[in-house]
Amino acid sequence: MQLVLATRNANKLEEIRDVLGFDSHTVKSSFDYPQIPDVVEDKDTLEGNAIKKATTIATATGCWALADDSGLEVDALEGAPGVYSARYAGEHCSYVDNCSKLLFEMKGKSNRRARFRTVLALVNLVGEVRTLEGSMEGTILTEMRGEGGFGYDPVFMPDGYDYSYAEFDPAEKNRISHRGRALQVAIEQWGALFAQI
């Protein structure tokens, strides 16, 4: 079985490979198929986007495909940025732009509860879809903290910790993060499939 990780996000790719124990020689990514255009994430749910990405890559490559879609859901913002997390500050924005917009939107808000959610979708050669989810509850900080990680990591402090995702050691973050949790469930539920790679 050949598996393609349906992402061109280098940070996500590294995190997924680290947690699942895959290397670039045995598991390909969308980077290895430059002729395939980026998948437009236009679904209303994380699950819809993950399924669309995995299905598109599986069809285009003739391989199994694993995709994720993740989002930050902030209670005081009625679940925003949610499915629009990657483009919260605009179509071609940076991680810093997104964090800055979130901090601006959160000014004066007393309820700073939030959660990161990841949905994984695995699609086989005949288009059968399997999905699962991981999440992490936490709080939105009042300023960016830390130099590590990516995305909203500098402004998200997970429950049970006194520091942001960006202040974590990468291995520790991969163990407890929303994506890390989803990937651990994937190992438990799909481990027999992954063993065929």
CB 122 within 8 A of CB 54: yes
Confidence of residue 23 (pLDDT cuts 50, 70, 90): confident
Catalytic residue among 69, 75, 159, 169: 69
User: Among 5-19, 106-120, 167-181, which range has the highest average pLDDT?
Assistant: 106-120
Domain ranges (residues) in the chain: 3-194
Q: What is the pLDDT of residues 124-149, one digit of tens each?
A: 999 999 999 999 999 999 999 999 99
**pLDDT of 119:** 98
Evaluate if residue 25 carries a pLDDT over 80.
Answer: no
CB 102 within 8 A of CB 88: yes
The reported pTM is 0.91
Closest CA to 50 of 136, 131, 126: 131
Confidence of residue 31 (pLDDT cuts 50, 70, 90): very high
Annotated catalytic residue 153: no
Q: What rounded mean pLDDT belongs to the chain?
A: 95
User: What is the rounded average pLDDT of the residues 119-123?
Assistant: 97
User: Among 24-38, 75-89, 169-183, which range has the highest average pLDDT?
Assistant: 75-89
**pLDDT of 6:** 95
Q: Domain 3-194, CATH 1.10.287.3610 — does that match? A: no
Structure tokens at 7: 């992402």
- Please compute, for residue 121, the number of CA atoms within 13 A of its CA located in the half-sphere on the CB side: 24
